[in-house]
Structure 1
């Protein structure tokens, strides 16, 4: 899919409603980031800015990228409303066509899923290369599509966390695995029923 087609797809996704996401920080990021010294962070697929704005509030200097202009505009408005606009640089970026410049203390990729073909492994490999020594790579994935969307047309497989790490082929003398596992998360279905979902968590620290 071309960049223009991908942009149109995500613009239609975000334009369908006034707000898509909750605006809250992702749970795993809120657990991990306080254990780190605030520095520079790159938020891949930032959406409407929940993670990026929260990181900025914790003292991080953030680069937040997404392909959807509508999502970035909402994220920037949220950052301004919460007084951290000067700590976040929002960039429109197609990660399948290239990776943002720079090195970062924290690389965060939460639920970088797509309903159209997207080769994520080159993105994750580029993310690992952008982590500066002593920094951390955090990848959080769904273990599978939500059961209430069993007909959802996902074009990629939902890989196990161990398989993602193996595919990255990172040198053992340069990287230390901090956490590689699936974790339970309680969610509520669209019908209001409780449901236990599993997220895959990968936390790698560059030596």
Structure 2
């Protein structure tokens, strides 16, 4: 049975571990120990580790609160400035939340000198940048296009849509797993916008 005070203690403990020791410290046993309770309390209050992580992100990360506030209440008098602020606050949120998942999709990403191997960390983005640069050289797209920015726009939108698909699979209204789908309308709109950028 879930208990509100225990739940809050577990969330406080999870946030403290995440803030002080990083995502690797977020084990159900470690959170329970930090909260001074049992591991069973984690499962009673959150169902599973995924539930704990979801609650941690939604209820404790200040970056999410700041990003939502910027989107909902930011001054749009200067639209470009507001878009920059939205981008910055969203980026800070993703920087904060990404460590919760990166151990699952990133291996050793440094070369022998310690430099980040971006082609391993972001393989599709790297290849897309190279291809766009080749298209520039063949005069198929404008030489003034920032290929890195366009690749980031397209791949970032794909990442966002992929996360939406995953979220829909995880949370069905009746508790069942939802059928895999794609954000076709959203992805078509993004592709149209990127195509417009590349061809004008």
TM-score bracket relative to the smaller structure: under 0.3
What TM-score comes out, normalization by structure 1 length?
0.22
Looking at secondary structure, tell me which structure has more helix per residue. 2
What TM-score comes out, normalization by structure 2 length?
0.23
